[in-house]
Chain A
Amino acid sequence: MICIKGGNIIDGISNEPYRGDILIEKNKVMKIGRSLDINFPNSVVIDAAGLYVLPGLIDMHCHLREPGHEYKEDIASGTRSAAAGGFTSIACMANTNPPIDNGGMVNFIKTRAKENGVVKVYPIATVTKGMKGKTITEIGELYKAGAVALSDDGRPVEDSNVLKLAIQYSKMFNMPIINHCEDLNLVNDGVMNEGYMSTILGLKGINRAAEEIGIARDIIMAKHYGASIHIAHVSTMGGVELIRQAKREGIPITCETAPHYFSATDEWVDGYDANTKVNPPLRTADDVEAIKEGLRDGTIDAIATDHAPHHRDEKNIEYNIAAFGISGLETAFSLGYTNLVEKGILSLSGLVQKMSSTPANILGIEGGKLGEGSAADITIVDLNSEYIIDTRKFYSKGKNNPFHGKKVKGKILYTIVDGSIVYAHSKIYEGSIDGRVDLLDR
């Protein structure tokens, strides 16, 4: 039994935090409320005075790289990275090698996660067989095996007819399609945002049009074929505006952005540090402002990490040939807190909505709220703690993160998954910690 005492609770249901206690028994929240009269002799007590207690964070878009690219990341390291970042559930993308395009692969991920993982892992399966964009996968089988969404992430489903069939077919199982929106002809080997910075650095640019054409196409698809499409990693001002208009018209779309799109700009590429190379690329200050406004007014539903770990040899090379992606699980909450909550864009409960409750709703998985009987997936944070991001301390194998050395606020102290403390004070714990109260002393 774990008792979290005296914390400021954000339950994911009401808007305002309140001071209270949470009693966890086995894997459930048994009791939650203002000053519970708890005095169980065998319970582990976490003194949460001055801390915030949140529903466990949920990342609906990350890359665990297993199978196929275990040198970049695997389920063991990726889930530890998630726990360190305060995530209790993560949905992993299907672009592994081989891709997650059949029931067997879904089961493989689930089994590996059970054996080696420390947080809950929900597989996302591909939209098309082999991620080739030609024929839709056996979506029924994928659903039965436990896939929570469909995505060819990394590649858009370019053929609109294939996307149409996928939308229509997946509707039977109520599975969202997550699309990576991009006109590949316009990308044309670009490596960063097209603009003044790409011009002076002499790097090939990717115009915002590439992303916005993809988004516009998907909005039109969702409108005419009447099923929800979730748009991955929105990064441009125009993209936010297209989605805002579509939502106003009642078109069933949802979308996410990633922390780097509200925390960094293409000016960071100056110096050619390939840790700034990501797709979609870091945009300009105007786009950053638009992303923040989209988060504030609700146009952007969720914040997902798009955690894309790579080996240092794939980043410590010429910018043009370096891999795209940022290892983001361990910096997401702090960036959100520092750049959104501290700046007055979102309230803390607003941030929790974007990083927990809404992703749970979109994927149709448990979590995102704390009530009696809900899963004991809990994240405890210290909002007053300022620290300097140090990628060398990452649990992820991927140290590719452009925020290394930046000062942020809001530190994850505890991550509790299904009633087990898996992360406490910078350390990962496996198995039961009953009787090891010493671990919890601050």
Chain B
Amino acid sequence: MALKNKDVLGLRELSIEEIDEILNTAELMKHILTQNNKRTPHLQGKSIVTLFYENSTRTRLSFELASKYMGASAANVSASSSSVAKGETLIDTGRTIESMGADVIVIRHPMSGASHLLAKNVDASVINAGDGMNEHPTQALLDMYTIREKLGRLENVKVTIVGDIMHSRVARSNIWGLQKMGAEITLAGPSTLMPVEIEKMGVKICSNVEEAVEGADVVMGLRIQKERQHEGLIPSIREYADLFGIDKKKIELASPNVIIMHPGPVNRGIEMTSDVIDYTASTINEQVTNGVAIRMALLYLLTRRRVIEHDMY
């Protein structure tokens, strides 16, 4: 089975079958990743470019390593968002990269919908590595992979996501994806950081973390940006940590087999206390490993799709 579209822009657009295919492919990729010789020829002769308009260490590195483990040529373009405002448009940049032979462009951008704009204007495959507050599909896929690996299933898994839901593309992608796979989602966070009408997505909302965490199989913390305090969305980081920070006491309310997740990087002592982060139930480091496997799977599936397409003509 191949992916339906040439791009992976969000979990909203992916079908259950496609998600299954990606997760299953990632399982194979993880075997490669855990071998002594991390080298496969899956992407030989392919060119992968990461185009990052936001700072990122782990996501960019994860894509870069995924490309290299599979034998692709990988290059990175970093553009600060201010140079975008002044200079070349996104479409022009994308076409330039494509003209140099890129098969896949991986884009991270501070504005929602930027990956859609790029995808519409290039023939290369586009992977959204996070666009504004919209989606971060590879993060959600690696989260889903991790949950499935740990708990053996996604159906009926109770997932509680805590934090700044409004600005979180990770939350949106996880809501779309996990719900498609049958999980139940509860959101908790300050009401000023809860987007309007999000309950229409089929999620439960709590303003009280204790209530949200009760009986949860998965507790996922989100990064809180310090700017939110300056914007006045929360009175202080201190109060946030007090009301919404996940500590051992709150975790005790969850299911005994709970797993603790965070997309990273973590603000220790703010969204999660150190004892929770370093607790054995925490999958934060495994998420990172699985992230490489997921990205290997996506790159493989997208480039394979292009080969299939090519052979048809």
B110's nearest neighbour on chain A, judged by CB, is A320
Task: State in angstroms the CA–CA spacing of A272 and B111 once bound together.
Answer: 11
**CB contact under 8 A between A320 and B132, given known A200-B172, A202-B172, A271-B116:** yes
Q: Which of B114, B172, B196 makes the CB contact (< 8 A) with A194? A: B196
Interface residues of B in 115-129 (CB under 8 A from A): 116-117
B265 at the interface (CB under 8 A from A): no
Chain A 198-225, CB-CB to B under 8 Å as 1, else 0, gives 1111111101000000000000000000
Listed residue (B117, B169, B201) with the most chain A CB atoms within 10 angstroms of its CB: B117
Interface 9-residue window, one of A1-9, A116-124, A311-319, A357-365: A311-319
Q: Which of A199, A318, A321 makes the CB contact (< 8 A) with B195? A: A199
Interface 9-residue window, one of B85-93, B156-164, B216-224, B267-275: B85-93
CB distance from A271 to the nearest CB of B (A): 7
CB distance from A402 to the nearest CB of B (A): 15
Residues of B within 8 A of A205 (CB): 196
A205's nearest neighbour on chain B, judged by CB, is B196
B167's nearest neighbour on chain A, judged by CB, is A202
B113's nearest neighbour on chain A, judged by CB, is A272
Residues of A within 8 A of B133 (CB): 202-204
**CB contact under 8 A between A196 and B91, given known A202-B131, A202-B134:** no
**CB contact under 8 A between A320 and B117, given known A198-B196, A203-B133:** no
CB distance from A265 to the nearest CB of B (A): 14
A-B contacts, CB under 8 A, total = 67
A195 at the interface (CB under 8 A from B): yes
Residues of B within 8 A of A200 (CB): 12, 172, 201
Residues of A within 8 A of B131 (CB): 202
Residues of B within 8 A of A320 (CB): 111-113, 132
| A203:B113 contact, CB within 8 angstroms | yes
How many chain B residues touch the partner (CB < 8 A)?
Answer: 25
| A203:B201 contact, CB within 8 angstroms | no
| B109:A318 contact, CB within 8 angstroms | yes
B310 at the interface (CB under 8 A from A): no
| B196:A203 contact, CB within 8 angstroms | no
CB distance from B53 to the nearest CB of A (A): 10
| B201:A201 contact, CB within 8 angstroms | no
| B200:A317 contact, CB within 8 angstroms | no
Task: State in angstroms the CA–CA spacing of A318 and B118 once bound together.
Answer: 9
How many chain A residues touch the partner (CB < 8 A)?
Answer: 21
Task: State in angstroms the CA–CA spacing of A196 and B201 once bound together.
Answer: 8
| A198:B111 contact, CB within 8 angstroms | no
B7 at the interface (CB under 8 A from A): no
Interface residues of A in 172-203 (CB under 8 A from B): 194-196, 198-203
Classify the interface of chain B: helix, strand, loop or mixed.
Answer: mixed
Residues of A within 8 A of B28 (CB): none
| A272:B89 contact, CB within 8 angstroms | no
| A202:B135 contact, CB within 8 angstroms | yes
B197 at the interface (CB under 8 A from A): yes
B61 at the interface (CB under 8 A from A): no
Residues of A within 8 A of B111 (CB): 318-321
B151 at the interface (CB under 8 A from A): no
Task: State in angstroms the CA–CA spacing of A318 and B196 once bound together.
Answer: 23
Residues of A within 8 A of B135 (CB): 202
| B116:A313 contact, CB within 8 angstroms | no
| A319:B197 contact, CB within 8 angstroms | no
Task: State in angstroms the CA–CA spacing of A203 and B89 once bound together.
Answer: 20
B198 at the interface (CB under 8 A from A): yes
| A272:B197 contact, CB within 8 angstroms | no
Residues of A within 8 A of B172 (CB): 200, 202
**CB contact under 8 A between A317 and B89, given known A202-B169, A203-B133:** yes
**CB contact under 8 A between A201 and B113, given known A196-B200, A320-B132:** yes
Residues of B within 8 A of A313 (CB): 89
Chain B 195-213, CB-CB to A under 8 Å as 1, else 0, gives 1111011000000000000
CB distance from B82 to the nearest CB of A (A): 12
CB distance from B158 to the nearest CB of A (A): 22
CB distance from A229 to the nearest CB of B (A): 30
Residues of B within 8 A of A321 (CB): 85, 111
Task: State in angstroms the CA–CA spacing of A320 and B201 once bound together.
Answer: 23
CB distance from B199 to the nearest CB of A (A): 9
Task: State in angstroms the CA–CA spacing of A319 and B131 once bound together.
Answer: 12
CB distance from B139 to the nearest CB of A (A): 14
Q: Which of B89, B117, B195 makes the CB contact (< 8 A) with A198? A: B195
27 pairs from A and B in contact (CB 8 Å cutoff): A195-B197, A198-B196, A199-B196, A199-B198, A199-B200, A201-B113, A202-B112, A202-B113, A202-B134, A202-B169, A203-B132, A203-B133, A203-B134, A271-B116, A272-B112, A272-B113, A313-B89, A316-B91, A317-B91, A317-B117, A318-B111, A319-B111, A319-B112, A319-B117, A320-B112, A320-B113, A321-B111
The 7 closest A-B pairs by CB, nearest first: A272-B113, A202-B133, A202-B134, A202-B112, A199-B195, A196-B197, A318-B111
Taking beta carbons and an 8 Å cutoff, which residues of A are in contact with B?
A: 194-196, 198-205, 207, 271-272, 313, 316-321
A198-B195, A199-B201, A202-B169 known, 9 other contacts, Cβ within 8 Å: A196-B196, A202-B131, A202-B172, A203-B113, A205-B196, A271-B116, A272-B113, A313-B89, A318-B114
